[in-house]
Amino acid sequence: MNTVPSRFPTAFLFILISVSCQSDRSTGGQPTPVRIQRAALLVPPPSAPSFAPMSIAQPMISYPGSAARNRQLAGQEIRPRMTIMTGELDLEVQDYSAALTTIKAIASVSRGFVVYSVANQTAGDRSGTRSGEATLRIPSPKFDESLARIKAVASRVERETIRGNDVTEEYYDAAARLLNKQKAESQYQKILKRSRTVKEILEVEEVLSRVREEIEQLTGRKKYLADQIEQSSILVRLHEPQAFIVQEPGFGAKLTIGFQRGLRGFADITSLLVTLLVGLGPHVAIAVSGLYWLVRMGRSRSERKTISQPIP
């Protein structure tokens, strides 16, 4: 009883395969898709071993002292820092014209330029001492090199100031806002094309006008920041050494100097006398009092002797 059911499917399968082979021969070797599918239904293919899905997420490895590497592993975008560099130099030079010409040449070699320069001569200076200042715009990669070359022109560096203004957050914020406004402009343009009534068209155009105005403002701000970041500023103040000239005073100046010296001597003598009186006053008073007491005692004794003598 148990062997019949187990042999029946095998025999039935054998009959189907034989019929299929005969049909293939009669049709020129072309397979019969339907009968192959039925055979496949009778004998299911062995099931493939199922594997649990593997997680491809890897644990984050933190490298101490490497924040940039950690952000890269975390999938975060690493943005370069945006810094506006400015410098100021106060220099003493032997020849103002030669120094200014050299500084302009340094700016030109560094692919920069001079924004403005001004020169002046000290009022009342007979020696012709000149001074002035110049503002340079230098590409940021050449900032340190240009600064060092400008300082080499001077005979003495009196003051040096370097400032760095980090505008990374402001720059990327303006860029993101600009991108969002441009997307909004594109959407409003599509809405404007679908508008039918005059009221809808006016409302959309009003909003679109405000969006375009904000786009212009953000575009200008982004360009300004980009220009300041790419071109650093250096303010250079120059001056020649101050010449000291000793002049002989005239007759009137001599009289004035003599009178001032006399007043100064009189004031010194008066001050000395006041100081002596204040310092020696108590001692003088004690000495005078003692002398007065001695004189009075001598007089009283002489009067007593005169009274004690008999009258002849």
Domain ranges of the chain: 82-244
Average pLDDT value for residue range 54-81: 48
Q: Is the pLDDT of residue 143 over 50?
A: yes
CA distance 309 to 312: 9
Residue of 132, 138, 136, 103 whose CA lies nearest to 119: 132
pLDDT of 41 reads: 38
pTM: 0.51
pLDDT exceeds 80 at position 302: no
Beta-bridge mates of residue 138: 232
Q: What percent of the chain has pLDDT over 70?
A: 66
pLDDT per residue as tens digits for the range 103-135 = 999 999 999 999 988 988 765 555 568 899 999
Where residue 79 falls among pLDDT bands split at 50, 70, 90? confident
Q: What is the mean pLDDT of residues 269-291?
A: 78
Rounded to the nearest 10 degrees, what angle do helices 198-230 and 168-194 cross at? 160
pLDDT tens column, 218-239: 999 999 999 999 999 999 999 9
Sheet with 83-92: list strands edge to edge.
113-121, 130-139, 231-239, 83-92, 156-166
Q: Which of 128-137, 164-173, 301-310 comes out lowest in average pLDDT?
A: 301-310
Please report the pLDDT score of residue 42 as a whole number.
40
Distance, in Å, from the CA atom of 45 to the CA atom of 35, rounded to the nearest integer, reads 16
CB 89 within 8 A of CB 160: yes
Please classify residue 162 by burial: count the beta carbons closer than 10 Å to its beta carbon, then call 0-12 exposed, 13-18 middle and 19+ buried: middle
pLDDT exceeds 50 at position 55: no
Q: How confident is the model at residue 52 (pLDDT cuts 50, 70, 90)?
A: very low
pLDDT band per the 50, 70, 90 thresholds, residue 258: confident
Task: Name 29's Cβ contacts closer than 8 Å, sequence gap at least 6.
Answer: none
The dihedral built from the CA positions of residue 216, 217, 218 and 223, taken in this order, carries a sign that is positive
Per the prediction, the chain carries an average pLDDT of 75
